[in-house]
Structure 1
């Protein structure tokens, strides 16, 4: 799924969003400010989709030192006038907080035409539904009967945007069984297994783009599955936002666990899956893809009665450090090697800086500059 401009699955949906925005902004003669927090791949895909577009400024917050060097360079080496990168001393969950605060300020949002291209943006989830239909028809065994056979699709999950698209595909009638595969940041796994929706400390893992403890798209999944009890979802989220923990009602938990199963994978499991896949297939997995493939190996060792597809969301070329840890040789394309020689540009924010104020100041400065030019 990663054969796009930044070697990540988000390129497809993000490129569509960028073109939609360019078309409608030109038509309406408007300008917007995009504000994005990233755990690794979202930032670079967002930048690539809108770089150089006159009617858009994009501000990206990246977790400095918590994504790979290649991921960071894919953001900081873009020197277009409409691209502005903050390298922040914090986790991706922490970076979400000032952005949530900005969007809670309705007057500020309207005044500066703010939007986001994180997976909270519905257009991204909409495009990603296509992933599941494509995967299904690539994987489904041929049958002479009228009933379409089921396919299990294993989805590496962080913010849960992609698996939300899978839930919508299910609702549309696609006969898929979903598996949410997470690293040791296991909020989604705990929700699926026992209805425990609680916040833990964000832990660093080899699958760094999935180092997320607050999968904000789970609210969408709850709403999709709750059906006649959708009013309860608002109460659940209000309780979670206040206490950072809530136990799902029994009926809602039953529906969530009926829509998907889950697994949580350690760093050791990730390295083992990368090695085994290379030994058996001569295919280099990125650590996020390896989370899904480790689940497959577990099931493959036990039984092989169903058709299964594992999503591979990023290229291994972006994670050379992990490939080396697996005692394998990275295969890095020339365009990624070239990043190492490029000029970089970013603004560093320390832990004790006021991140929200920095964002507000930057947005206001950009609008003032644009209005005076």
Structure 2
């Protein structure tokens, strides 16, 4: 990110995980006056537009899987999704509301709030665990609010009450019909780093496919639930695993799963995209001013407002 030469790009470092930065981003985007004054837009799945676009991916994947499997349109399929903030899952949930015949399974790492919620009804915040599938190190997936809205009968008052409990206590417990509705809508499985690395290694050695650690989490979740390789638990339905990124972005995970020699030899020689090679040669020019870091204990909302208002010297612009 810090090699981007565009004058209107700034990169800010912060101490913590994805949950920690999601909160101030949500805070300034839900301040309507501030948002409208500065023309703010988030490109992650806090933005409904991101989720809406992803629903198209689900239908596209479904139709391609129908073609590949020789099944007719209307065939039910399992989808297994690497899950962090649940944006892609929310898109799949909405696609199913639109008629997509899909069963949804969330693959999560040690940050397993979705698994705990499905298994025990405990949407309870916990501390963030560092894993090799870094992009899904999320303990409070904000798109659960969208899923709960549908599970609660599209009742905004009920949803608002649930999220107030979560925001103020860090613990929302689902019981009775709402927990049953969640279990009917989603399945989930948690995966360790060891299991993730084993899948990355097995996929490459067995199939010649080099997957990234997040895709490996989904594959492992599908395996643990008995959905893959024609297992009876799949009910004869085709299974689609959503792949998310190129392995080149995750050197540590590749080294752990396939060894230092593989990364330094075959990976760099054969598998590294040319665009990624070019990044290695570029200077870091797009960072924030020297020493700029959002530190634990500081008021990140206030700091982020200052960043927006001053732009670190970047001129004001509106789309």
The alignment's TM-score, normalised by the length of structure 2, stands at: 0.86
Higher mean alpha-carbon deviation, 264-273 vs 338-347, is at: 338-347
Long gaps (5+) in structure 1? 1-74
Establish whether residue 142 from structure 1 lines up as the match of residue 73 from structure 2.
Answer: no
Q: Distance in 1 between matches of 2:177 and 2:2?
A: 46
- Equivalenced residues, count: 296
Distance of 1:296 and 1:281 partners within structure 2: 17
Helix, strand or coil at the partner of 2:104: strand
Please report how far the alpha carbon of residue 353 of structure 1 lies from its aligned counterpart in structure 2 after TM superposition. Answer: 4.6
Q: Partner residue of 1:324? A: 255
Contact 1:349-1:355 within 8 A present in 2 as well: no
Tell me the residue number matched to 1:295: 221
1:361 aligns with 2:306: yes
1:160-215 Cα shifts (integer Å, max 9, x gaps): 00010100111111111110111110011111222111100011001000001010
Whether contact under 8 Å (1:186, 1:213) holds in the other structure is: yes
1:64 maps to what in 2? none
DSSP-derived class of the 1:212 partner: coil
Q: Which runs of 4+ in 1 moved over 4 A?
A: none
Which of the pair is proportionally richer in strand? 1
Other-structure match for 2:283: 343
Contact 1:236 1:246 in 2 (8 A): yes
Query: Is the contact between residue 125 and residue 161 of structure 1 (CA under 8 Å) also seen in structure 2?
Result: yes
Structure 1 residues 78-87 or 285-294, which shifts more?
Answer: 78-87
Unaligned runs of 5+ in 2: none
Which residue of structure 1 lines up, in the alignment, with residue 106 of structure 2?
180
Q: How far apart in 1 are the matches of 2:215 and 2:21?
A: 24
Matched residue, 1:47: none
2:14 aligns with 88
SS at match of 1:110: helix
- The normalised TM-score by structure 1 is 0.74
Hey, what does 2:185 align to over in structure 1?
Answer: 259
Q: Does 1:211 align with 2:137?
A: yes
| Cross-structure match for 2:152 | 226
Q: Give 1:235 shift.
A: 1.0
Q: Once superposed, what is the RMSD of the aligned Cα atoms?
A: 2.2
Q: How does 1:93-112 map to 2 (within 5 A)?
A: 93-112=19-38
Distance 1:364 1:200 in 2: 33
Q: Deviations over 1:114-136 (max 9, x none)?
A: 22112011111111111111111
Instruction: Describe the shift of the 1:371–1:157 C-alpha distance in structure 2 as closer, same or farther (beyond 3 A).
Output: closer
The whole-number CA distance in structure 2 between the counterparts of 1:255 and 1:311 is 24
